[in-house]
Structure 1
Amino acid sequence: MGERHLDEVKSAHQSTAADASRFCDDEAYPRPQLRRTHWQSLDGPWRFTFDDEKRYSHPGEIEQWPLRIEVPYPIESKASGIGDRGFHKACWYQREFDVEATGASRVILHFGAVDYFAKVWVNGHFVTSHEGGHTPFQCDITDVLNSSGPQVLSVYVEDDPQELNKPRGKQDWQLEPHSIWYPRTTGIWQTVWIERVARTYVQKIRWTPHVEGFALTFEARVIGERVDGLSMEVQIRHKDRLLADDRYMIIDGEVDRRIILSDPGIDDFRNEILWSPEKPQLLDATIRLKRGDEVLDEIQSYTALRSVGVLRDRFMLNGRPYQLKLVLDQGYWPDTLLAAPDDAALRRDVELAKAMGFNGVRKHQKIENPRYLYWADRLGLLVWEEMPSAYRFTRTAIKRIVKEWGEAIERDFSHPCVITWVPFNESWGVPELTSVGAHQNAVAALYHLTKTLDPTRPVIGNDGWESSDTDIIGIHDYDANIEHLRQRYGPEVSTEQLFDRRRPGGKVLTLDGYPHRGQPVMLTEFGGIAFDTRPRKASDVDGDTAEIWGYSVAEAADEFARRFHELIEAVTYTALFSGYCYTQFADTFQEANGLLTEDRVPKIPIEQIRKAVGMSRTHIQGAA
């Protein structure tokens, strides 16, 4: 059965994959929207040692490195070669690498993500530190490189497995995963890499689309040695058509310009060039930093014309109402945990979501690898980005969330696939929202901070229940009874009744003083049907000791297919909802409520899933 289903997957997304094949980046550049030619991955085997007692303060103090680890896989993962899921507070990494030190260029060291606190040395010299387990950091290591011979890179990581006042997402604080919590992620879990740049170079860029004006705002920051007379060339193309070829002077190390794209005045062209899941049209960009005619830095990038927002009770894409059909994606793999096995695995997850008929994913409690966003941009998949939660409310926790959330928004702002920001989920980390002003203020602060850092996208202050400041009201409801859902959200229920009632867990949908103001209402978690396809019986899922976990259980494939179809039909038919997010994409350890197994094999024929997800209100009402 598994091979047949896999054949259906291949058939379902064959055309999408073919369309994207010309964009395939075999080298899997880690920062897809600011690409250079000269870079080198430092992934692979590293020396490794635990330091639970924190005996060492400098890599030179370590006499023996008893273990080897495969970077970038967490120490808890099988793929790392360590596979130790015990409690470890600290560890060290070390490896050699070769790079030529020259006076004509700089060498930048990059880390995609290290959980949770990292300190870095090169050739025994301390070069940088970073706090936050889900966002990138980098530093210039040129001045500490040896003039010849190998360079030595050492990394110290501190990650207390039981500390609850740091953003940790779904990482369990107990020794063994239980309920909806999964194995911990410690240490390096995204690519480590170096790149060579000019002594004056482009540090960052940002794209902001303006569909209504057929324009883009382009921002760039230039750092390094001060050079007079700098300019920047920006060329933008859609396939073979040149849309812009501009040149700007660099003022105070920055460029901030609105680029009006060449418009032939044909409506069909305007419609054709817009980005959507159905037509993921990207605009390729070449950016050159110049001094006179000399090119100091050249980078490749891409962007897209697309707009997102809300209008009354509907989500809007490119100025038109758009029904969101999302699936909850935890972003774990059995052998590599939070880290992807490789770039192909990230691409395959995007293809599978589309093959099942969904137009987007809600990345749950994870800031996903930028390469996933790259494939979502290329292949056409919407992404809700959600901040991993802390599980205690403290000043330290809020400060850490604010810092890391700001870094995540900065990293992913330019990706057209990202359409919504979610700083809090189900009141995690702010458990007393109904009664404690500081908790309410935290949600309000993160909502308004997010709107300040990015005024172009909707923000959900707290997804699930107890909404206050929010652009969309997200409801989580795992009631397995279809009639209950119809009665609860059907047309005979007034808005006042809906928002006065309590929901699962005894939670209210909106806080006092925050009545429904006409925002879109979406069922952003539902389903959760556990169906275990492994060769053993699915036992009772109540309690943390059960073999599998889910919100309800299906014993056979036909029952699972029928219940899934009925749930999707009921939610699609409910006019109240302008979108939904089904739980979930794939099985994740003991949580066996995925449409796919943890190895990404469909549990029922993918055509059945796609047929259910593809239903529209018009189709259902016409059939009725």
Structure 2
Amino acid sequence: MMNKRTEYPRPQFQREQWTNLNGEWEFAFDDLDQGMDEKWHEGKVSFSQKIQVPFVYQSELSQINQREVHDRVWYRKEFSYTGEKQVLLHFGAVDYQADVYLNGVYIGGHIGGHTSFSFNVTNYLEKEGQQVLVVKVYDPHADETIPRGKQFWEKESRGIWYTNSTGIWQTVWLEEVAVSHIKQVIFQPDVDEGKVGIRLIFPAEAVGKQVGYQISFQGEAIASDLVMVTSTEMNRSVELYQNKIFRSNFHDNGWTWSPEKPNLFDVSLKLIDSEDAVLDKVVSYFGFRKIHTEKGMTFLNNYPYYQRLVLDQGYWPTGLLTAPTDEDFKRDIELAKEMGFNGCRKHQKVEDPRFLYWADQLGFIVWGECASAPVYTEKAVERLTNEWFEIIERDRNHPSIVTWVPLNESWGVPDIHHNQQQQHFSEGIYHLIHSLDDSRLVISNDGWEMTVTDICAIHNYSHGGVEEGKKYDHFIETLSTVENLINQAPGKWGIYAEGYRHRGEPIMLTEFGGIGYQVGEQDGWGYTSVSDATEFVSEYGRIMSALYSSKALFGYCYTQLTDVEQEINGLLAYDRTPKCDLAKIKEINRQYFPERLYSEAKK
């Protein structure tokens, strides 16, 4: 089988010298937990099974395609490598706990199933012959403190729960770097001032060298500099207004990033020694983008912006959490835009950076959400919090991400309505994320029982079927005013947790719809049901008409983009086949423009 994931996995921090380790690896289940006793980690024992990385054993593309639950699995890969520079070994994501051995030596571990990690393996490489890489993975399915999201803990998926994933599910690669290199770059665009802050992180060996940057727009260099590295962390502020393309009307001329005009600035970074030799070169980009709330609305680049989002679970029939190809990420965004959506809420999943890259390039708003744990314990709090440090560190430079969602529908905080400890966690994670990243909005608990939040995000599927007139009328009435929206919660608890209230933040309907329509052989369920494409479009229009009649809502997120396993409530089938003429969905999505709200914003 040809490796389907050959693209560079970290597009916002790209080097030329790298080696993709995807493809065929040896693989073994370790249900008896005998691997360590039998010294599998030393790399001398070959495993009988073969697996295609980066696809988990539960997926078809792994070529194992087994749905039995296995908590412990092992990977083994032999590869040849010769080089004179330092070598970094990168893992895109491994679910859940990974311990890594190279040539029989333990080089490190990582806990967390959704974020990237790496090791400097230079001192562990053999000078000649084959290198042997072994990865031990522990994914205890009975442990409810693990942020698992929609992954089911049993063999067969059902309800809202999908097939679980164990092991390597994003790209593994090697990267050559000099001892003196650039470790990280963080961009901090300031739309109001026309500046971009550049924070650079270096190892101690880089101090005394020179770092140069060049910022280009549409192929034209607009800013550059060469400065001495005086510490392991440096901050530069680059004025862009003074350059000719920003002579006047910065915002109106379209130099900012938006779904309609996804303008990006290319950045080249070089680390240079005293003899002008290039030690390291990194290619990156950023977008000039500002998101804030005011007067009950969200503003993008200081203009009111109505978000038309679609819920996206990020699952594929043959790859599960892993997209079969890079083109699949791009195609999902193109299909959503073809239907008139300007963004998505990535639901219960920290998505692959390649998806975020295409969202940046194509112009597509993303709400970044994490996977939830099902219970509240101190360990669950620790694990979720640790993942947020890594999520923000990895993804903060993507202009497409405008909102962070750390909690959903009180998952992992089941008693938050009246339990002050769980309320403290919700409010605490809200403030923590803001303390790490001040360039985005944060929702404290998407759906209901919110504490402090930047958007009042409400879930409501109580629109009924076409024959349920009274239920539909009540749905319209609920959406009609701010008071009705926050006082007529459809579920057990209120929209706000006890002791908290609406403070004027924008209100969005962030889950609704879910029309069930079966195409092909896939059977399943939806929140309402239709039998053909004509009825499907009509039902979508009926539900959207109720939403558009609201004078209190400022945006929405429709459930959902695609069918997923037993859920047949997508606008597209699981294989991305459109269920109807997508132009008709776009026509419905575009029929409403909140002129009243926009005019009020200008007062």
Question: Judging changes above 3 Å, is the alpha-carbon distance between structure 1 residues 535 and 48 closer, same or farther for their aligned structure 2 residues?
Answer: closer
Aligned to 1:346: 329
Determine helix, strand or coil for the equivalent of 1:452. Answer: helix
Contact 1:274-1:304 at 8 Å conserved across structures:
yes
Determine helix, strand or coil for the equivalent of 1:462. Answer: coil
Shift of 1:498: 3.8
The letter for the 2-side match of 1:490 is S
Shift of 1:312: 2.4
Single out whichever of 569-578 and 44-53 deviates more from structure 2: 569-578
CA distance in 2, matches of 1:29, 1:403: 26
CA distance in 2, matches of 1:566, 1:619: 21
Shift of 1:616: 2.0
Aligned to 1:433: 416
Shift of 1:267: 3.3
Aligned to 1:602: 578
Determine helix, strand or coil for the equivalent of 1:503. Answer: coil
CA distance in 2, matches of 1:619, 1:515: 28
Aligned to 2:99: 119
Aligned to 2:488: 501
Determine helix, strand or coil for the equivalent of 1:45. Answer: strand
Question: Judging changes above 3 Å, is the alpha-carbon distance between structure 1 residues 246 and 64 closer, same or farther for their aligned structure 2 residues?
Answer: closer
Contact 2:73-2:137 at 8 Å conserved across structures:
yes
The letter for the 2-side match of 1:617 is F
CA distance in 2, matches of 1:500, 1:619: 26
Aligned to 1:592: 568
1:516 to 490, 495, 502: 502
1:179 and 2:179 aligned: no
Question: Judging changes above 3 Å, is the alpha-carbon distance between structure 1 residues 121 and 618 closer, same or farther for their aligned structure 2 residues?
Answer: closer
Shift of 1:586: 0.3
Aligned to 2:31: 52
CA distance in 2, matches of 1:75, 1:287: 39
Contact 1:573-1:620 at 8 Å conserved across structures:
no
1:486 to 476, 486, 494: 476
Shift of 1:266: 3.5
Alignment: residue pair count? 580
* Residues 35-79 of structure 1: per-residue CA shift (max 9 Å, x gap): 100001100000000001211224238744120000000110011
Q: Where do 1:123-142 residues align within 5 Å?
A: 123-142=103-122
Contact 2:402-2:441 at 8 Å conserved across structures:
yes
1:583 to 552, 559, 563: 559
1:236 and 2:236 aligned: no
Determine helix, strand or coil for the equivalent of 1:200. Answer: coil
Shift of 1:245: 0.6
Contact 2:206-2:229 at 8 Å conserved across structures:
no
Contact 1:308-1:318 at 8 Å conserved across structures:
yes
CA distance in 1, matches of 2:158, 2:206: 57
CA distance in 2, matches of 1:132, 1:618: 42
Aligned to 2:600: none
1:570 and 2:546 aligned: yes
CA RMSD of aligned residues (A): 1.8
CA distance in 1, matches of 2:43, 2:168: 21
* Residues 14-50 of structure 1: per-residue CA shift (max 9 Å, x gap): xxxxxxxxxxxx9521111111000011000000000
Contact 2:190-2:196 at 8 Å conserved across structures:
yes
Aligned to 2:467: none
Determine helix, strand or coil for the equivalent of 1:202. Answer: coil
Contact 2:406-2:429 at 8 Å conserved across structures:
yes
Question: Judging changes above 3 Å, is the alpha-carbon distance between structure 1 residues 228 and 611 closer, same or farther for their aligned structure 2 residues?
Answer: closer
Aligned to 1:282: 264
The letter for the 2-side match of 1:176 is E
The letter for the 2-side match of 1:342 is T
Contact 2:146-2:373 at 8 Å conserved across structures:
yes
* Residues 413-462 of structure 1: per-residue CA shift (max 9 Å, x gap): 00000000000000000000112111111101110100101111110010
1:166 and 2:146 aligned: yes
CA distance in 2, matches of 1:227, 1:108: 17
Shift of 1:246: 1.7
Aligned to 2:400: 417
Q: Where do 1:42-441 residues align within 5 Å?
A: 42-57=21-36, 58=39, 59-60=41-42, 63-102=45-84, 105-223=85-203, 226-261=205-240, 262-264=242-244, 265-267=246-248, 270=251, 271-292=253-274, 293-441=276-424
Shift of 1:361: 0.4
Contact 1:523-1:579 at 8 Å conserved across structures:
yes
CA distance in 1, matches of 2:489, 2:278: 63
Question: Judging changes above 3 Å, is the alpha-carbon distance between structure 1 residues 535 and 509 closer, same or farther for their aligned structure 2 residues?
Answer: same
CA distance in 1, matches of 2:221, 2:448: 47
Single out whichever of 320-329 and 430-439 deviates more from structure 2: 430-439
CA distance in 1, matches of 2:214, 2:42: 48
The letter for the 1-side match of 2:452 is D
Contact 2:43-2:103 at 8 Å conserved across structures:
no
Identical-pair percentage = 41
Contact 1:327-1:358 at 8 Å conserved across structures:
yes
CA distance in 1, matches of 2:29, 2:367: 36
The letter for the 2-side match of 1:165 is T
CA distance in 2, matches of 1:63, 1:299: 38
Contact 1:249-1:255 at 8 Å conserved across structures:
no
1:616 and 2:592 aligned: yes
Determine helix, strand or coil for the equivalent of 1:272. Answer: coil
Question: Where in structure 1 are there 5+ consecutive unaligned residues?
Answer: 1-25, 537-546
TM-score (norm 1): 0.90
Question: Judging changes above 3 Å, is the alpha-carbon distance between structure 1 residues 96 and 62 closer, same or farther for their aligned structure 2 residues?
Answer: closer
Contact 1:573-1:617 at 8 Å conserved across structures:
no
Determine helix, strand or coil for the equivalent of 1:246. Answer: strand
CA distance in 2, matches of 1:289, 1:108: 18
Contact 1:101-1:147 at 8 Å conserved across structures:
no
CA distance in 1, matches of 2:207, 2:403: 40
Determine helix, strand or coil for the equivalent of 1:564. Answer: helix
Determine helix, strand or coil for the equivalent of 1:349. Answer: helix
Aligned to 1:23: none
1:557 and 2:533 aligned: yes
CA distance in 2, matches of 1:575, 1:259: 42
CA distance in 1, matches of 2:93, 2:273: 34
CA distance in 1, matches of 2:296, 2:307: 13
CA distance in 1, matches of 2:435, 2:295: 21
Question: Where in structure 2 are there 5+ consecutive unaligned residues?
Answer: 465-471, 598-603
TM-score (norm 2): 0.93
Question: Judging changes above 3 Å, is the alpha-carbon distance between structure 1 residues 618 and 199 closer, same or farther for their aligned structure 2 residues?
Answer: closer
